[in-house]
Amino acid sequence: MKKFILLFLIILTSCASRNVQIDKLNIKKDSTATTEVKVITVEAKQKTDSTNIVTTTDSNEITITPIDTCKEIIVEGKVYKNVVLKIKKNKTNTLYTNNKKESETKRIDSAATSKVIKKEVVDSKLKTIDKKANYCWIIWLLLLILILYLLWRNRLRLLSVL
């Protein structure tokens, strides 16, 4: 009977079961964003300068040289007597044309580069302990009551021994 009680007490006073669950979460994110902007501006200007100059020259040259004063000469409603008449007419046309074209091209290149590096590291450790109910204190209480009961029952024998 004593062995049975001892075995019963050992079984009842055993520790409660414990379940431990460890979750490790490790997230690493690396990202690189590169933005490249190229702006090319071409500006073209053209100038045209055109010049036309027309020069017209009319010249009339009349030379009257007298030879004989007895004779009359009528030129353009004028009366000349005994002369040598020399008429020279010159007409000169001059045309000056200037077509000037100027072309100006301006090219502006600009480039901008933006680089963004983003690193994100998340470490997480989650430990979950699931412990079943431990009724060990009830067993100790029952054991104490049992011992007290046995002492009460055998109190006369215990007192006589002392």
Return the percentage of the chain with pLDDT > 90, whole number: 2
Which helix or strand (DSSP H or E) is residue 147 part of? helix 136-153
**Burial (CB count <10 Å: 0-12, 13-18, 19+), residue 94:** exposed
Arithmetic mean of pLDDT, 146-150: 90
Task: List, for residues 11-64, the tens digit of each pLDDT value.
Answer: 666 556 677 788 888 888 888 888 888 888 888 888 888 888 888 888 888 777
Q: What b-and-e string marks burial along 126-150, b requiring 16 or more CB atoms within 10 Å of the CB?
A: eeeeeeeeeeeeebeeeeeeeeeee
Task: List, for residues 95-117, the tens digit of each pLDDT value.
Answer: 888 888 888 888 888 888 888 88
Coil, strand or helix at 85: strand
pLDDT of residue 86: 80
Arithmetic mean of pLDDT, 63-81: 74
The Cα-based distances of 41 to 37, 105, 112 in angstroms read 13, 10, 14
- Structural domain boundaries of the chain? 1-17+132-162, 30-129
Return the percentage of the chain with pLDDT > 70, whole number: 88
Q: Which of 34-38, 74-78, 134-138 has the highest mean pLDDT?
A: 34-38
Query: What's the distance, Cα to Cα, between the start and end of the chain in Å?
Result: 27
